[in-house]
Amino acid sequence: MLDGVWANWFRLWIPSWRFFDEVGSAPKIFFQIRPRGEVTGDSNTIWEPLQDKPGFRAIGLFFNPSGNIYHCRSNLIERLALESQIVQSTELENSTSYLILADWVRSNLKPLAHDSEFEFRFKLTVLTISGDGQAHDTDVLASTWMTA
Amino acid sequence: MILFWTQLLAGLACLLQTLEYLALRSYWSNSGPWSAKNLSAEYGRFRALARIGFSQHVLELMIAARFAASIFLLGSFLAPQIVTSLSLAALALSTLYIAVRFRGSFNGGSDSMTFHVLLSCLVASLWPHLALTSVHYITALVVLSYFVGGIVKLRSANWRSGLALKAIFEHSQARHAGLLSLRPLSANSYLLISWLIIGWECLFPAALLNSSLLWFFLISGGVFHFANFLVFGLNRFFWIWLAAYLAVYLSATLRNGNW
C-alpha cells in the first residue's frame, strides 16, 4: 500500500493526457439500512442506489463545490473498486479508500435517520459490457454493517 | 511580462478553486470523510506525521495563503515583481499540497494543468530570459493533452466503434445530473461524435500552423470544455485551459511572426 502512497506525491508532476480514454468500470454505490441492533439476513433488505449526484446549476461554471467533491468521490470509488481486486478484504476494510467511502455514505445517509439510530452497509458494483454491447452491474465489494 | 494574461487567468482559476475548497470544509474537517484520521491510515509508520501534516488546521492555513495569493496575483499589475513571484510560488505549493492530501489529485487533470501553468509563470517571473521557454512549455502541454488523448482513443476499439462514448454518456458516474441528462443517442450518433472527438484531438497540433487554424482550434476547444462543464460539471478544466490557451496563442503568433 505504501507504494501507492508515495505515488500520491508525484502524480501532479506528470501531466495527465488520457481523459475518458477507455470504457471505465463506472462503479456505483448501493446501501442498506436497518434499525440498530436488529439482525436481518442478507436477502431481507433491498439494496438502494445512493443518490449523491448533485444537480446542475449555471453558476457552477464559476463555483461548483458539490460537483467537484462528487468528481473526487467518483475517483475514490474507482480506486476502491480497483483495490478490491488486489487487496484482501480484512486489509481493505482498514484502507484509506474504504474509510473515506464509509464516512461519505454515512454522511449521505444522515438525512434518512430522522433521529432514529440505525446501521448501514454499502456495496460497490462495476459496469461490465458483454460482447453484444449490453451493460451489467457486477458486485465487487460489500461492506460489513456499520453504525450510522 | 509575457505571461501576464495567462497568470491573471490562472489567478482567477485559483481563486475560484479556493472558494470551492472553503465551501467543502465539512468534507475535509476532522469529522469529514477526507479527515486527517482517514487519510493517515495508509501511511504505516509515518501515520502520526501524516496526521499532523494533513490536519484540518494545516489545510486551513494553506487555503488562507491560497486565497491571499490569488488576490495578489489578480492585482499583480499594481504589485512589485517579488509579490507576484511569491504569490505564484504559494499557489503552486498549495496546489501540490492539496493534491497530495487528496491522494494524488483533487480534480484529476485540471490540478496537474493548474500546477504546471503556475510553475511556468513562476519560472518566467523569476528568470525573465526563460519566459519564452515557459510559453512554449505550456503550449506543448496543451497540444500534447489533446494529441496524446486522441491517439490513445484512436487505438481503442471501443472508441472507434462509439461504444466508449455510449458507456460514458449512459453509465459514467462522472456525468452530471440535471441540465444535460441526455437521452440515449443512436449508435450512429455515438459513432459520429466519437470520430469527431478523435479527429479534433489528433489534429490539434495543426493549430500552430496558421492563424485561421489557431482560431478554429482555440474557439472549438473552448466550446469543447464548456460542453464538458454542461455534461460532467467540469468547471475547473474550463478556466485553467483558458489560461493555457493564452500561452498557446502567444506561442503560435511568436513562432509565425506577424500573421
The cell numbers describing B111, all together, are: 490540478
Selected residue with higher pLDDT from B177 and B155: B155
Q: What is the pLDDT of residue B160?
A: 94
Cβ A95 vs Cβ A87: under 8 Å: yes
Q: For A87-104, give one letter per residue: b (16+ CB within 10 A) or e.
A: beeeebeebbbbbbbbbb
Which of A55-59, A62-66, B194-198 is predicted with the least confidence, judged by mean pLDDT? A55-59
What 3-state DSSP class applies to A139? strand
Tens-digit pLDDT profile for residues B11-34: 999 999 999 999 999 999 999 999
Nearest to A17 among B145, B177, B229 (CB): B145
Distance, in Å, from the CA atom of B118 to the CA atom of B96, rounded to the nearest integer, reads 11
Q: Which of residues 106-165 of B touch A (CB under 8 A)?
A: 106-109, 111-113, 115-116, 141, 144-145, 148-149, 152-153, 156, 158-159, 163-164
Distance from CA of B161 to the nearest CA of A (A): 11
Q: Which residues of A touch B27 (CB under 8 A)?
A: 69
Nearest CA in chain A to B172: A26
Q: Which of A64, A94, A133 sits opposite B20 (nearest CB)?
A: A64
Whether residue B229 and residue A53 make contact (CB cut-off 8 A), yes or no, is: no
Which chain B positions have a beta carbon within 8 Å of A130's beta carbon? none
The pLDDT > 70 percentage for chain B reads 94
Complex prediction ipTM: 0.90
Of the candidates A115, A111, A109, A96, the residue with the CA atom closest to the CA atom of residue A148: A109
Separation of alpha carbons A72 and A69, rounded Å: 5
Distance to chain A for B258, nearest Cα, Å: 31
DSSP state letter for B205: G
Nearest CA in chain B to A60: B235
The answer to whether the CB of A140 falls within 8 A of the CB of A84 is yes
Residues linked to residue A124 through DSSP beta bridges, in sequence order: A29, A141
Contact (CB, 8 A) for A120 and A109: yes
pLDDT at A146 over 70: yes
Tell whether the model's pLDDT for residue B176 goes beyond 70.
no
Query: CB of B176 within 8 Å of any CB in chain A?
Result: yes
Check residue B38 and give its pLDDT.
Answer: 96
Percent of chain A with pLDDT over 70: 81
Q: How many CA atoms lie within 13 A of B218 on its CB side?
A: 21
| Distance in Å, alpha carbon of A123 to nearest chain B alpha carbon | 15
List of chain B residues whose C-beta atoms are within 8 Å of the C-beta of residue A104: 33
Give the percent of chain A with pLDDT over 90.
Answer: 29
Separation between Cα atoms, residue B20 and residue A71, nearest integer Å: 13
Distance from CA of B209 to the nearest CA of A (A): 22
Report the alpha-carbon distance of residue B254 to residue B208 in Å, rounded. 10
pLDDT over threshold 60, residue B177: no
H or E element at residue A60: none
Instruction: Provide, as residue numbers in chain B, all residues whose Cβ is less than 8 Å from the Cβ of A4.
Output: 42
Q: Does B91 or A2 have the greater pLDDT score? A: B91
Work out the angle between the directed axes of helices B81-101 and A2-10 (0-180°, nearest 10). Answer: 160
Helices (H), strands (E): how many in chain A? Answer: 4, 5
Please tell me the predicted confidence (pLDDT) of residue B258: 56
The pLDDT tens digits for B203-255 are 999 999 999 999 999 999 999 999 989 888 899 999 999 999 999 999 999 87
User: Which of B24, B176, B182 should one mutate to test binding to chain A, selecting the residue with the greatest count of A CBs within 10 A?
Assistant: B176
Nearest chain B residue to A65 by CA distance is B20
Q: How many helices (H) and strands (E) does chain B have?
A: 13, 0
Question: What pLDDT digit, counting tens, does each position of B47-62 carry?
Answer: 999 999 999 999 999 9
Q: Which of A35-44, B34-43, B112-121, B201-210 has the lowest mean pLDDT?
A: A35-44
The reported pLDDT for the residue numbered B46 is: 93
Long-range contacts of B26-34 (CB under 8 A, 24+ apart): B26/A107, B27/A69, B28/B56, B28/B59, B28/B101, B29/B56, B30/B55, B30/B56, B32/A103, B32/A107, B33/A100, B33/A101, B33/A103, B33/A104, B33/A107, B34/A100, B34/B101, B34/B102
Instruction: List the one residue out of B219, B201, B224, B215 whose CA is nearest residue B253.
Output: B215
State the best of B173, B188, B191, B241 to mutate against chain A, taking most chain A CBs within 10 Å. Answer: B173
Q: Which three cell numbers, joined as nine digits, stand for A26? A: 463506472
Which residue from A14, A22, A54 is facing B177, i.e. has the nearest CB?
A54
Reply yes or no on whether the pLDDT at A108 is more than 50: yes
Backbone angles phi, psi at B33, to 5 degrees: -60, -40
The number of beta carbons lying within 10 Å of the beta carbon of residue B136 is: 17
